[in-house]
Amino acid sequence: MSNEIHADLLVIGFGKGGKTVAAAMGRRGKRVVMVEQSDQMYGGTCPNVGCVPSKALVHHSGQRRPDDPPQEWYERSIRQVQAITGFMRGANYDSLNGADTVTVLTGRATFTDPHTAEVVTGDDRVTVTAGHILINTGSEPIIPDIPGLRGNKRVVTSTDLIHATVLPRRLTIIGAGYLGIEFASIYNRFGSEVTVLEEAPEILGRLDGDVAGAALDILTGEGTDFVTSAEVTELRDGGDHATVVYGKDGARHTVDADAVLVATGRAAVTHDLGLEAAGVRTTRYGAVEVDEHLRTSRPHIFALGDVNGGPQFTYMSLDDSRIVLDQLLGDDGRSITDRVAIPATLFMTPPLATVGLTEREARAAGCRIKIAWQRVADIAAMPRAYVVEETRGVMKFVIDVETDEILGAALLSVDAQEIINVVALAMRHGVTAAELREAVYTHPSSTEALNDILGTIVRSDEPTRIAEPAAPRAGR
């Protein structure tokens, strides 16, 4: 291989957005160089250490029967998940490296000027110059500056957990965001004793109390122990375990753990990229600063996915790729300002999917609304919930009184991750609640729940008291 490559497009990071643009430009005959620093990350975070393995573990943990030995079931599940991720990693590599116009380099890229990066691949150094450059380096777990946390062999990230074949008997999770709650649900079902420490006074505090309370009831009912208003102050090494020290209500408490999962958020990976040499600015949080078309402070350099500080979802990175492709192909049509009704799903069991405004947010915005709310167990038109033996949860819709358009929804139910996409699409295109209610859906399906719940307005547009979330069952 020549030590110098001149390309039309250089992509740094093999994530969803970058690989999609790389493949599209390669098909158009453009000379593309893709750089990925790890041979374990072809395809990016999602298929390797993110969505795919974690959601596969959701599935495997739910399949364990009471008499299945937890450690044996867990180790077998991890092996099966690793096989899936390995297959997907190889397929991602082959899909790009097999193209005539695309070269994949495995190494670390550092900018030396606005159009050039030096890539260290083993003992070799390759200089790549390109007319356009995409930064797609993703994000990494944040490790808080808490005494005893860094360097402790008992402290793990989500990446560490999904590669470990030993099931921790006691797992303490610091942080009750999406990742913390998902892993709490997964490992509780595998058989771990799970304690979640959350600094905020509520779990799922952005949601309305009736939805958050229903979710928390499910989680605590399965045995997960939540402690809110808990400030972790220290981690002590106990040899065969770790002791987490935290403050709550003016008193000091401790909890012992075989593993401590830090789930306090993720930060953009921008260190060691040499962004100063490229003239690329970053935000105060370290993310690459971009405009509405994802251009950085250098117009020929773009940033896609988690590294640009936007919502950390794979599907947002995919949409980033559409915006950047438009720019590369001379079409200014799309921008991040076009995004409306973007859904999100928390993969507890059953999943909790949301889109748009909560009731609290709608009322605070001065909207005149009506509310449709039902327990899944009471939705007559949703027999699938009984077929798959998962009737827990609630569904809630916030609807504009005058237009009958949906302003938001929270679905805690089986298949919520699928139903929410239908609701989001309806919101983007102005489909009314009545039209969704009267639509024809397959049977038995979860989507047909819309026939029932949207026919039952359980609250008027007068302000109503939002139920408070159920209190965590932790006694600490």
Which residues are tagged catalytic? Answer: 443
Q: Is 182 assigned to a binding site?
A: yes
Q: Is 180 assigned to a binding site?
A: yes
Q: Is 306 assigned to a binding site?
A: yes
Q: Is 325 assigned to a binding site?
A: no
Q: Is 372 assigned to a binding site?
A: no
Q: Is 265 assigned to a binding site?
A: yes
Q: Is 139 assigned to a binding site?
A: yes
Q: Is 74 assigned to a binding site?
A: no
Q: Is 297 assigned to a binding site?
A: no
SS (H, E, C) the chain: CCCEEEEEEEEECCCHHHHHHHHHHHHCCCCEEEEECCCCCCCCHHHHHCHHHHHHHHHHHHHCCCCCCHHHHHHHHHHHHHHHHHHHHHHHHHHHHCCCCEEEEECEEEEEECCEEEEEECCEEEEEEEEEEEECCCEEECCCCCCCCCCCCCEECHHHHCCCCCCCCEEEEECCCHHHHHHHHHHHHHCCEEEEECCCCCCCCCCCHHHHHHHHHHHHHCCCEEECCCEEEEEEECCCCEEEEEEECCEEEEEEECEEEECCCEEECCCCCCHHHHCCCECCCCCECCCCCCECCCCCEEECHHHHCCCCCHHHHHHHHHHHHHHHCCCCCCCHHHCCCCCEEECCCCCEEEEECCHHHHHHCCCCEEEEEEEHHHCCCCCHHHHCCCCCCEEEEEEECCCCEEEEEEEECCCHHHHHHHHHHHHHCCCEHHHHHHCCCCCCCCCCHHHHHCCCEEECCCCCCCCCCCCCCCCC
Q: Is 198 assigned to a binding site?
A: yes
Q: Is 176 assigned to a binding site?
A: yes
Q: Is 470 assigned to a binding site?
A: no
Q: Is 55 assigned to a binding site?
A: yes
**Could you tell me which residues are annotated as the binding site for FAD?**
55, 137-139, 306
Could you list the residues known to form a binding site, using ranges: 55, 137-139, 175-182, 198, 265, 306
Q: Which residues are annotated as a binding site for NAD(+)?
A: 175-182, 198, 265
